[in-house]
Structure 1
């Protein structure tokens, strides 16, 4: 997902996953301030079929955004999911295909290996070091209660009262107590992928938020697709 700045420069802002020929699954916080723009194609576009953020593949104009109606409810960044609609359908090829999303019962045991991808920062606050080439990182599913408790403690500390809560509609992934691997700023909206031996690659999360990048104590937090599967199918089938 690319945003035009200053009327001339296109920059890579968020990730997304093609789920039908006309719809991309992403997160809400990337687009919530643009959802009422009458012609979003003037400032947003989608590049498909390339692992490079600024070259290759094909460019597609954005028709509109569908933001989850309960985004930021009952707490900040809850229901952080959106559908990006394209003006023209994507042309499928060996480099452009729709992804399989997790169903309502698709939840993984703690410790399961997953993969996150994106073009975001290499480290917190280092936007100048963003890669032009798509990156991927191997992570593990983190126990939900551990993630909830750690972020609740962090939020209780001075200066952190505005941090989101980890809710049941979120899932955590990282390398707990070691850190060093994570998604970062600019990766938001991209997929968290489970390589299912029977079903292939399944999108089971959307990069949403976290505390810094690669923190040993606080893993990355993702939208839990299984909770939103019905909403995604209903709104992504337009």
Structure 2
């Protein structure tokens, strides 16, 4: 399943450039997919540009992933975006802007990474990155602690590719995707039993056309709660290609791991 992950492992340098603010143009029409088997990772396909300040909790990570500001010192992302638990000062987090080239962007270096215990490439796809100093003036994104909000229509956002095999984006894109129930997502027409019902949640259109894509890994899937505030229900994890018919995005089901995430964040001082 590793080849389905929504990160461009072979293009890490380009992704780092994007996160550090270098302008990356969209790939020309007809560009080939990133991997030889045609299976690539996620960015937002079929989306539109987010407004400045619309999603202040969004984070771009220098290894080519996304994330969400869980607390002023903690970023929640995907386990497959990081290599291990331990001291790590190599990751740069960029926040506070839609345009990665903006002079108003906020950046922080990492000082520690916590990867979900037992992660082996299938399920348990979450991780925490502790920042070297707190971020002030930006809203954080609360996580769902039960399944109340695990259905309905969700919002996804990221700086990943706007089409399968495309380049990373300079501007944050957003889209909405509907929930797909476990039985449908695991049917022979879709993922044929590959999805882990307890760990993962599917979202996307049966006809395709809207999805996360390569470079969106680790970013949040979120919706409004009963108080009309944003709440995170998923983490961009994997999918077959981007926005293909009958291949919705597969996301880490945050509510299932909420207590473990909260406990780990607390241990990191967040």
Which of 125, 128, 146 in structure 1 is aligned with 2:165? 125
Which of 23, 37, 60 in structure 1 is aligned with 2:108? 60
Alignment gaps of 5+ in structure 2 = 1-11, 20-63
Q: Which residue of 1 aligns with 2:156?
A: 116
Q: Which residue of 2 aligns with 1:149?
A: 187
Is residue 180–residue 204 contact of structure 2 (8 Å, CA) maintained in 1? yes
C-alpha distance in 2 between matches for 1:10 and 1:181: 26
Which of 233, 237, 246 in structure 2 is aligned with 1:204? 233
Q: Which residue of 2 aligns with 1:190?
A: 219
Call closer, same or farther: CA 1:140–1:50 in 2, change over 3 Å.
same
C-alpha distance in 2 between matches for 1:51 and 1:185: 18
Is residue 237–residue 250 contact of structure 2 (8 Å, CA) maintained in 1? yes
* Higher percent of residues as strand: 1
C-alpha distance in 1 between matches for 2:224 and 2:236: 17
Q: Which residue of 1 aligns with 2:72?
A: 21
Local SS of the residue matching 2:98 = coil
Cα deviation for residue 165 of structure 1 reads 3.8
C-alpha distance in 1 between matches for 2:101 and 2:77: 19
The count of corresponding residues between Structure 1 and Structure 2 is 209
1:85 aligns with 2:130: yes
Q: Which residue of 1 aligns with 2:31?
A: none
Local SS of the residue matching 1:226 = helix
Is residue 18–residue 169 contact of structure 2 (8 Å, CA) maintained in 1? no
Select the structure with the greater relative contact order (CA < 8 A; seq sep ≥ 6).
Answer: 2
Q: Which residue of 2 aligns with 1:174?
A: 204
Is residue 104–residue 230 contact of structure 1 (8 Å, CA) maintained in 2? no
- The alignment's C-alpha RMSD in Å is 2.1
Call closer, same or farther: CA 1:165–1:141 in 2, change over 3 Å.
closer
Cα deviation for residue 59 of structure 1 reads 0.8
Call closer, same or farther: CA 1:166–1:123 in 2, change over 3 Å.
farther
Local SS of the residue matching 1:228 = helix
Deviating 4+ runs (over 6 angstroms)? none
C-alpha distance in 2 between matches for 1:119 and 1:142: 24
1:71 aligns with 2:119: yes
TM-score computed with the length of structure 1 as normaliser: 0.81
Call closer, same or farther: CA 1:65–1:54 in 2, change over 3 Å.
farther
